Structure 1
Amino acid sequence: MSLRDLPAGPEFQRPAAYQFDTPSDALAKWADMPSAATASDNTTVTVLDVIGDDGIGGGVSAKRIAAALRAIGKRDVTVQINSPGGDMFEGIAIYNLLRAHPAAVSIEVLGIAASAASIIAMAGDNIRMARSSFLMLHNAWGVVIGNRHDMAEAAALFERFDGALADIYAARSGMARSEIAALLDAETFLTAEEAVAAGIADTIAGGADASTYASHAAAQSRPDIQAKRRIDAALAQQGIPRSERRAMLKQITGTRNAAEPATHDAGFDPAALRQLLDTLQA
């Protein structure tokens, strides 16, 4: 078990019509950050994407984290996070996996740990944040399609989920539950300094650590990945649902000039995506 006495995350049944999304503000902040460099050692787990299946071939799943922890065994583990959040059910599952790890769990917030990713961070015996990083807390978030009975059931479930999340944040930080509830209601972004002052994080990475991360991340940042993230964030801020955004991004991925030969795994055209992004922002 974790070295801290942390409460287990709730194991509620996922509503049949539930669809997760990421808060647009968190998605936009994450999209503007460089892609994080991956660790080279075999006791580090990276959480550098949306939590859950992102609908276009990416995302961080509980299944992947479970496999990584099995490979690490009973050794100490470091978890590096730069994620805007996503599926709260997957986030809780990953938190529970880390909570149950038999050795020490160290969390490093490299850029942002928002929404479901901030819950994952709470499983750490030690939480260290880069000086320019953020934690973002908010109430359970998602979309449920159905009749009034489905909506009422979902509202009751989300209320229970909010209470369980507040218990986890409160246990990890020592803050009063009412204070945590206020932060969740306000959809709060905490800087590294604010998170440490509140007891939600433990330490701030020194200047050398932060600058090393920034230089490595900038060197490994891929234009196509950054463009995809920023387009998704721009569409989200216009209120376009996640399912529609995924369909649009898939269409972009599959589009090519008919006169040109097809290239296997050609991916995104950064120039075309940049033009689309400029149009959206205009």
Structure 2
Amino acid sequence: MSAKRNKPWFTLKNMADKPAELLIYDVIGDWQGLSAKELVNELKAIDADELVVRINSPGGSVFDGIAIYNALRYHPADVHVRIEGLAASIASVIAMAGDIITMADNSLMMIHNPLGWVGGEAEDMRRTADMLDKATEAIALAYSGKSGRPLEDITPLMADETWFTAKEAHEHGLVDFVDQPVQLAASLDLSIFQNVPDELKAAPQASQSLSLNRSQVTTSAPDALAIVQLCNQAGYPELAESFLRTQASVENVRQRLTDCETIKTLCAAAHSDQAATFIQAGKSVEQVRTDLFETLVANQTTIDNSLTPQQQHNEQEPNNSPSLNIDSEALYQKRNKNCYA
């Protein structure tokens, strides 16, 4: 099964003699093997005095967004946020990290309570509700901190899913300046929101949008919940969308998630950081094994075939799954052949 590839959701540029620039122009989250952790690590390497953050995003992963917000807040550079089209949901929280926030006159901002889904027992539901309450409070604090308004003024606006024009956002203290309109070619899928302005509902949807359109999902509701839960439990929530789009069965999802763990183990043994890239590309275990083998032949890296206690516990019967080890004997034989041929 091949995962759909789309453009990365962020771009970070560190330019000499110019402000560094971060573009967030898509759904926020670990969709393309580019995680918030990777972005935060890249931000640490930015030593520019000024960082410009340009936003046109419908939001995405709450916890990824909060991590990015905190990384920007504590970055030593002067952070100038420019909202150039839409800063909705968690994207509007990231915008609050700016020392200066500028909003194009024709752009919009939306704030709301975070959303979540879970399948399971009543206790699972309660834990999710508690988590959402804590996330709501953290998000409200970001808006309150920027605007200077008390939380009791912010939380009703979030509960109502409030959309602000640039002028309204400025009046509420959420931005510092309103700038000239910006012309943007791409539109975003806003189908998950309730109070989208009419002019945005009529806009054509971007063909490469990563948001999940309900009409595209034909998987039954129980299976869809099971798939989402499996992905969350396995630590791959970003894969749920592609499984639902391709109408993968629950059994196929289980097998692919097992393969993902095998791929991670193979990459760990090969000292490779390419596991996320292989998984997002939809590569099979054997394809990954072949790629790693050829890479190791070329770079002379030492092979460690030992497994952690957890990996040993989870290892399946040899007849049911491919070996987790890389064939080090074959590797060294090929290296010798390459060296002395």
Question: TM-score band (shorter)?
Answer: 0.5 to 0.7
Equivalent residue in structure 1 for 2:87, among 107, 110, 113: 113
Contact 2:26–2:209 (CA under 8 A) maintained in structure 1: no
Supply the distance in 2 between the matched residues of 1:140 and 1:164 (Cα, whole angstroms): 10
Residue 50 of structure 1 aligns with an amino acid whose one-letter code is: V
**1:247 to 2:273 alignment:** no
Contact 2:21–2:54 (CA under 8 A) maintained in structure 1: yes
Structure 2 residue aligned with 1:122: 96
Supply the distance in 2 between the matched residues of 1:39 and 1:167 (Cα, whole angstroms): 27
Supply the distance in 2 between the matched residues of 1:183 and 1:238 (Cα, whole angstroms): 34
Contact 1:45–1:68 (CA under 8 A) maintained in structure 2: no
Equivalent residue in structure 1 for 2:129, among 133, 155, 158: 155
Cα distance, 1:149–1:163 mapped onto 2, change above 3 Å = same
Structure 2 residue aligned with 1:255: none
Residue 218 of structure 1 aligns with an amino acid whose one-letter code is: A
Cα distance, 1:249–1:128 mapped onto 2, change above 3 Å = same
**1:235 to 2:212 alignment:** no
Task: Give the superposition deviation at 1:140.
Answer: 1.7
Equivalent residue runs for 1:215-226 within 5 Å: 217-218=184-185, 226=206
Contact 2:217–2:244 (CA under 8 A) maintained in structure 1: no
Supply the distance in 1 between the matched residues of 2:217 and 2:96 (Cα, whole angstroms): 27
Equivalent residue in structure 2 for 1:198, among 153, 172, 189: 172
Contact 2:103–2:177 (CA under 8 A) maintained in structure 1: yes
Equivalent residue in structure 2 for 1:133, among 96, 101, 107: 107
Contact 2:14–2:48 (CA under 8 A) maintained in structure 1: no
* Aligned-pair Cα RMSD in Å: 3.5
Pick 1 or 2: higher relative contact order, CA cutoff 8 A, min separation 6: 1
Structure 1 residue aligned with 2:25: 48
Equivalent residue runs for 1:1-282 within 5 Å: 42=15, 43-54=20-31, 57=32, 61-206=35-180, 210=181, 213-214=182-183, 217-218=184-185, 226-229=206-209, 232-233=212-213, 235=215, 245-247=241-243, 249=245
Task: Give the superposition deviation at 1:204.
Answer: 1.1
Give the aligned length.
205
Contact 2:21–2:52 (CA under 8 A) maintained in structure 1: yes
Residue 227 of structure 1 aligns with an amino acid whose one-letter code is: S
Residue 48 of structure 1 aligns with an amino acid whose one-letter code is: Y
Task: Give the superposition deviation at 1:133.
Answer: 0.9
Residue 82 of structure 1 aligns with an amino acid whose one-letter code is: N
Contact 1:112–1:133 (CA under 8 A) maintained in structure 2: yes
Contact 2:105–2:178 (CA under 8 A) maintained in structure 1: yes
Identity of aligned residues (%): 38
Task: Give the superposition deviation at 1:143.
Answer: 1.1
Task: Give the superposition deviation at 1:228.
Answer: 3.2
User: What's the CA shift string for 1:167-202, capped at 9, x where partnerless?
Assistant: 221111012211100111001111111100100011
